[in-house]
Amino acid sequence: MLELAVLGLLTDQPLHGYELKKRLGETLGFLWGVSYGSLYPALRRLERSGAIAIVAAEPPPVAPSPPTGSLTGDLAAARLRAMAGRLSASGRRTRKAYQITPDGERLFTELLVGDDPHGDDEKAFALKLAFCGHLEPGPRLELLLRRRRVLAERLDRQRQPRAMRDDRYTRSLVEHRTKSTQRDLEWVDELITAERVAEPGEVPPAASDAFKEEASA
């Protein structure tokens, strides 16, 4: 799922490693931690597969410190030029930035619409929903319908009688899980309804805010 998140962020603009880690933390922070130890191997895998390419990103300019003393006029300007020249000649390394390629765009779409190995994975669905706006209306609706089927099957299982300890704490836990699944199902139904009434090519407002609602739930 990390590859999906990286490609999703790079669809907007090229980013270097630090920016990617920061934005991944903002996007996935409540789901899992993203370290450089996991990020850079994922970037290398994507680069080897041709899904991303490296571009040079110039470091931000560093303004030279103003000269001290009482120098003014041409002498002060000459000192500033000399300091700027030393900075530019110091050979400061430029940072590598990563940009998505056409192959990466195709892979991104495949990861978004593909079946999950574990269809009941909450994290995987939340991540896909975060980038759902990049999909065409048809695949986007299919993603939501697939999630609805998963939740409906889970709710059916939870409502089936089962042998368990007969105490109020166990019963309360089972009821809580059932109610949570029911709320999730109602939420996805709202997203599906909004998707079906949206204008062609328009991302429904409910879908655009869904990831934030999921994060705060």
Cα–Cα–Cα angle for 134, 135, 136, rounded to 5 degrees: 130
Contact call for residues 159 and 175 (beta carbons, < 8 A): no
Q: Pick the residue with more confidence: 186 or 73?
A: 186
Q: What string of H, E and C letters represents the secondary structure of 79-118?
A: HHHHHHHHHHCCCCCCEEEEEECHHHHHHHHHHHHCCCCC
Interval 136-156 mean pLDDT: 93
Q: Measure CA of the first residue to CA of the last residue in the chain; give whole Å.
A: 21
Residue 111: pLDDT above 50? yes
In the predicted structure, residue 207 carries a pLDDT above the cut 50:
no
Q: Give the pLDDT score at 124.
A: 86
Confidence of residue 75 (pLDDT cuts 50, 70, 90): low
Q: How confident is residue 195, by pLDDT bands cut at 50, 70 and 90?
A: very high
Q: Is the pLDDT of residue 7 over 60?
A: yes
Gap between the Cα atoms of 182 and 190, Å rounded: 13
Residue-wise pLDDT tens digits, 162-188: 777 778 898 899 899 999 999 999 999
Q: Model-level pTM greater than 0.85? A: no
Mean pLDDT of 119-128: 80
Cβ-based neighbours of 32, under 8 Å, separated by 6 or more: 123
With residues binned 3-state (H G I as helix, E B as strand, rest as coil), the percentages for the chain, rounded to 5, are 65, 5, 30
Strand intervals (E) in 2-102? 15-16, 52-57, 95-100
Residues β-bridged to residue 98: 15, 54
Burial of 217 (0-12, 13-18, 19+ CB in 10 A): exposed
Round to whole Å and give the CA distance between 96 and 99.
10
pLDDT grade for 1, boundaries at 50, 70 and 90: confident
Task: Give CA–CA dist 57/16, Å, rounded.
Answer: 8
Q: Quote the percentage of the chain above a pLDDT of 70.
A: 70
> What is the overall mean pLDDT for the chain?
79
Which residues make beta-bridge pairs with 54?
98
Q: Which pLDDT value is given to residue 163? A: 73
Q: Which residue has the higher pLDDT, 9 or 93?
A: 9
- pLDDT above 90 (res 208): no
- Whether 97 shows a pLDDT value over 80: the answer reads yes
- Report yes or no: 10 and 98 within 8 Å, Cβ to Cβ: yes
204 pLDDT band, cuts 50/70/90, is low
